[in-house]
Each structure stands twice: as C-alpha cells, then as structure tokens.
Amino acid sequence: MWGILGWLLNFVLLMAVMGIVGFQLMNLTDLETDYINPYDSANQINAVVLPEYIILGLLCMSFLFTGHWFMCLLCVPCVYHNLRLYIQRQHLIDVTEIYNQMNREKQRRFFKLGYLVILLVMSIFWLLWTVGEEGD
C-alpha cells in the first residue's frame, strides 16, 4: 500500500513540475507572437522558477525516501543543473535581454519538458508494476 502511495505522490509532483514548465513555455510563445509584453512575461516566468526548482528537489527527495533509487538517480542531473543556475544567479530571465535569450530559454524548457515526460512514463510504468505486485 505504501508503495502505491509513494508512486502517486511522485506522480503528483511530476505533474506539478510539468505544469509549471508548460506555463513558462506558453509565456515565451506568447511573447514571441506579441500577445504579451516582455515585462509581464519575465515577471510571470520568474515568479514560478523557484517553485519549479523546489518541487523538482522535493520530487528527487521523494524518490530517495520511498526507495526508488533508479528514479532518484535520473532526477539528480536536473536538480544539479537547477542548483548550478541558482548559485550562478542565472535562473531568472532578464527583461532587457529576453528577446536575445528567448530561443535558448525555449530550448532549455523544451528539453526539460521532454525529460519530465520520460520520467512520467517511467513513473507510470513502475506505479502499474507496483499495483500488479501488490494485487497478487
């Protein structure tokens, strides 16, 4: 029973991070098509960067504490990348440079979204595996 609850908690955290990254991508796309001004776009993206980093860190710790070592090891590179960006103070988008950095920021977030989709598929697989084992 606890295994299933652990996987469900991880699933919820993964969906939260994917929603935040999707929100950031939508803001960058709206900025690219001139539906939103750079100041509002940068403020909205910067407001959710730290919650994204915190939730991803909680996801990695959740994998660790629930005993899913392989999934934790898959999360470590992304957490390290986020920590490195935060320490170097490169985690926020600058309003004055947002048009110059837009392609790089969109590529970074698309890569992160693809990475999270892979983690989600693996989590769903292991959740179903755990349900099958506990059902026997």
Tokens representing residue 90 in the block: 């490169």
Positions of the chain with pLDDT under 50: none
pLDDT of residue 45: 96
pLDDT at site 1: 62
Residue 7 has a pLDDT of 83
The per-residue pLDDT for 135 is 64
> How many Å apart are CA 114 and CA 116, to the nearest integer?
5
Alpha-carbon gap, residue 61 to 67, rounded angstroms? 10
Q: Give residue 80's pLDDT.
A: 96
